[in-house]
Amino acid sequence: MNRMLELHNVHKYFGGLHAVNDVSFTVSRGAIKAVIGPNGAGKTTLFNLIAGVLEPTAGTILFKEQPIQGWKPHQVAALGMSRTFQNIKLFHGMTALENVMLGRHVRSRAGFLAGMLNLPGTWREERAIRSRALELLELMEIGEFADVEATSLSFGQQRAVEMARALATDPEILLLDEPAAGLNIYETAEVARLISRIRDMGITVLLVEHDMSLVMEISDEIVVLCFGEKIAEDVPETIQRDPEVIKIYLGEDEEVSG
Amino acid sequence: MEPFRRYIPVAVLIVLVVAVQVTTRLTDTSYYLTQLTMTAYYYLVVIGLCALMGYAGQISLGHAGFFAIGGYISAGLTTHNLIGLQDNALVALLHKFSLLVERQDLYGDTLLTVQPWAACIAAVLLAVLIAFILGGPILRLKGHYLAMATLGFGIIIAQIVLATQYFGEADGLSEVPPFRLFGPIEVSGSFGSRVQNYYIAWGLLTVGVVLLLNLINSRVGRALRSIHGSEEAANAMGVNTARYKLYTFVLSAAFAALAGVFLTHYNGSIGPSEAGVMKSVRYVALVAVGGMANLWGALIMGTILNFLSLRGVFGSYDDAVFGLILIVIMLFAPNGILSIKVRGLLARLSSKGEQNPGEQNA
Ligand SMILES: Nc1ncnc2c1ncn2[C@@H]1O[C@H](COP(=O)(O)OP(=O)(O)OP(=O)(O)O)[C@@H](O)[C@H]1O
Ligand SMILES: [Mg+2]
């Protein structure tokens, strides 16, 4: 089972707008694959299709060789997919720790009745959830902010909480939508290190990112989208030299910061 | 001892409940207990709604409807005489399983009615069933749309009880018999059992509070708060948000229906005003005054306001007062009265529009 994720001729229309146009590619297990393309190319839409937020107008999406188009996001998550968001979506009113603990939701069981009756079995589960969440905050080097309300943290720290929360679901594949957006070069280097570490944990990574140095440094393969269409797919060295890619994308790199 | 810390306020509540009763006894003011008993039942609706609004983040302007379903079904079943239908197969069957009781009415006629326990269970189950059927489609709505849909439900229930002969139309139902819980313990408004009923009501409420406190502090509670925090992220992390919202809606409906059953047996009657839209608004106002996601805030403020209202302090402006409270809360203290800090209030007044994110913590 070497194919973690496969897209076959996926289309998405928003009314008359063909946001994703006949996109196919495969992500192999254990790889870091990047999706790049100019603003509005359809990258986030593609992520939303994969994660079950949107349903493709046509095409097939296989996750671990199972067709998942039409599934709800929570079902896809339970099967082992997790993600972060381009516009950070942390739970406001909850601490960093609670945010990450929520990530353990799919891997734990206590339901309404057990919760209402405060059954002893749930205490053990809660303890395990808490210690795993703390571990992940430590891994992201933000353990000291465990009890701080997540949305009051700095931008970089919020991204780290989001990543810890995503990892808490024990994903087999992690979708990262612009993990370095809004970060300075040091923080970006930190994120690159982190993504490599996540891959070393055996997690497949699918990444959308505008920061070319980051993408070129860490990805095994790159898919280039433009106006919803896949215009190239190859290893970073080749993509870097592809004249069409340079023309439509790399040439206007300055425009796409932030 | 983490799983028990949350019970400290519960212990305080119990002490206060006892202290109040003892005080009324010593000062010979035990007539207050009547209003306090009713307050506890209304408050049962409020805490259920608090879980729904404050934690799952879903508004309902129809909870008086569920209260009415509980009260009216229980009242209808325990007052309508089935003696003429004795030969009906269903009635005979119910009788055989001792779900019916025979008793004498005021004029010495024999009544055959549904046993209160059976009526109570039937009433709550019906409310749960309706909440399930209704909740599926309407909880997909958000914000104003959900508010409108639940309001619509409330109006429908209010109209049904007003127009249905079985429910007594504009007069409602009266002569609802006492509800014997077990042994000598019964829910009734008789003068002699005032103290007992005060404890039944506050006991039931305390159990409700404990169940909800547990829930809020559990894995499910975290999932509910996450829906409030960001539904899309909650979904992506594997929370079946639709199901959690539905279950919480059903749970809050069950609390409301149970409150309806108990209060109806306590009062010995129920009328159409209990199903009215203004009642629903009042429940929402009480949740808001307490601070949405704050069971204790809602308990304290709710008790005070409800008690004053039942004592008739607001006179005929009762509903207006609750409407006004809702407006004031939304404008100046969206996190509840108890969270107001004078400085924050002044800042809010002087620089309208500018939000202080730190307020969210309060
Ligand atoms: N829910 C939606 N309804 C209608 N149109 C949408 C929706 N989501 C995205 N679009 C449109 O689809 C196109 C692709 O948007 P998308 O967000 O996927 O681009 P992107 O590649 O992620 O861009 P960016 O680099 O700015 O994040 C855009 O034209 C956008 O306006
Ligand atoms: Mg995007």
Give the C-alpha separation, A41 to A224, whole Å.
9
Q: Residue B326 class from Cβ within 10 Å (0-12 exposed, 13-18 middle, 19+ buried)?
A: middle
Give the C-alpha separation, A11 to A5, whole Å.
16
CA distances (Å), origin B117, targets B89, B257, B270 = 21, 14, 18
What are the structural domain ranges in chain B? 2-361
CB-based contact A133:A113 (threshold 8 Å): no
A19 lines ligand 1 (CB under 6 A): yes
User: Tens digit of pLDDT for each residue in B219-238?
Assistant: 999 999 999 899 999 999 99
Q: Is A252 a residue whose pLDDT tops 60?
A: no
What is the A176 CA–ligand 1 centroid distance (Å)?
16
State the average pLDDT over residues A219-232: 95
**Residue B231: how many CB atoms within 10 A of its CB?**
18
HSE-CB for B287 with a 13 A CA cutoff: 26
> What residues of A are in contact with residue B336 (Cβ under 8 Å)?
none
B234·A102 Cβ contact <8 A: yes
CB-based contact A143:A106 (threshold 8 Å): no
User: Tens digit of pLDDT for each residue in A154-173?
Assistant: 999 999 999 999 999 999 99
pLDDT value, residue B6: 84
CB-based contact A161:A96 (threshold 8 Å): yes
DSSP class of residue A249? T
B150: nearest Cα among B291, B245, B40: B245
DSSP class of residue B217? T
Q: What radius of gyration do chain B's Cα atoms show?
A: 21
Instruction: Report which secondary-structure segment, H or E, holds A11.
Output: strand A3-14
* Alpha helices (H) along chain B: 2-5, 8-26, 32-50, 63-79, 89-96, 116-138, 143-163, 194-216, 219-229, 231-236, 241-267, 277-290, 295-310, 318-332, 342-350
Give the C-alpha separation, A26 to A35, whole Å.
12
Task: Output the CA angle A157-A160-A161, nearest 5 degrees.
Answer: 90
Asked whether this complex has an ipTM greater than 0.85, the answer is yes
- Find which of A112, A129, A176 to mutate to test the B interface (most B CBs within 10 Å of its CB): A112
CATH code, B2-361 = 1.10.3470
pLDDT confidence band for A178 (50 / 70 / 90): very high
Give the C-alpha separation, A141 to A144, whole Å.
8
A74·B223 Cβ contact <8 A: no
Asked if A90 is an interface residue toward chain B (Cβ–Cβ < 8 A), one would say yes
Interface of A with B in 129-158 (CB under 8 A): 129, 149, 151-152
Q: Is A237 a residue whose pLDDT tops 90?
A: yes
B132: nearest Cα among B252, B27, B20: B252
pLDDT value, residue A196: 93
pLDDT value, residue B294: 78
Give the C-alpha separation, B157 to B64, whole Å.
9
**What residues have CB less than 8 Å from B145, skipping those under 6 apart?**
none
**What residues have CB less than 8 Å from A75, skipping those under 6 apart?**
A52, A68
Give the C-alpha separation, B192 to B265, whole Å.
15
Q: What is the full DSSP assignment across A139-174?
A: HTT-GGGTTSBGGGS-HHHHHHHHHHHHHHT--SEE
Atom of ligand 1 nearest to the CA of A37: 21
A12 lines ligand 1 (CB under 6 A): no
Give the C-alpha separation, A188 to A171, whole Å.
23
Q: Which residues of B39-66 are buried (b: 16+ CB within 10 A; e: fewer)?
A: bbbbbbbbbbbbbbbbbbbbbbbbbbbb
**Residue B88: how many CB atoms within 10 A of its CB?**
12
C-alpha dihedral (A235, A180, A32, A244), degrees to nearest 10: -20
What is the B139 CA–ligand 1 centroid distance (Å)?
27
Structural tokens at position A8: 């076959």
B74: nearest Cα among B120, B142, B134, B137: B120
What is the B74 CA–ligand 2 centroid distance (Å)?
55
CATH topology (fold) of A1-80+171-258: Rossmann fold (3.40.50)
What is the A45 CA–ligand 1 centroid distance (Å)?
6
Q: Is A255 a residue whose pLDDT tops 50?
A: no
**Residue A205: how many CB atoms within 10 A of its CB?**
24
Q: Which residues of chain B have pLDDT under 50?
A: 341-343, 352-362
Atom of ligand 1 nearest to the CA of A41: 21
A48 lines ligand 1 (CB under 6 A): no
CB-based contact A19:A42 (threshold 8 Å): yes
Bridge partner list, B186: B180
B360·A149 Cβ contact <8 A: yes
Q: Which residues of B192-202 are buried (b: 16+ CB within 10 A; e: fewer)?
A: ebbebbbbbbb
Give the C-alpha separation, A91 to B242, whole Å.
17
Given the DSSP bridges, would you call strands B100-104 and B110-114 parallel, antiparallel or unpaired?
A: antiparallel
Asked if A85 is an interface residue toward chain B (Cβ–Cβ < 8 A), one would say yes
Given the DSSP bridges, would you call strands A221-226 and A32-36 parallel, antiparallel or unpaired?
A: parallel
**Residue A129: how many CB atoms within 10 A of its CB?**
24
Given the DSSP bridges, would you call strands A204-208 and A32-36 parallel, antiparallel or unpaired?
A: parallel
User: Tens digit of pLDDT for each residue in A16-38?
Assistant: 999 999 999 999 999 999 999 99
Q: Distance from B245 to chain A by nearest Cα, in Å?
A: 12
pLDDT value, residue B347: 54
Give the C-alpha separation, A12 to A53, whole Å.
12
What are the structural domain ranges in chain A? 1-80+171-258, 91-170
pLDDT value, residue A250: 53
**Residue A134: how many CB atoms within 10 A of its CB?**
16
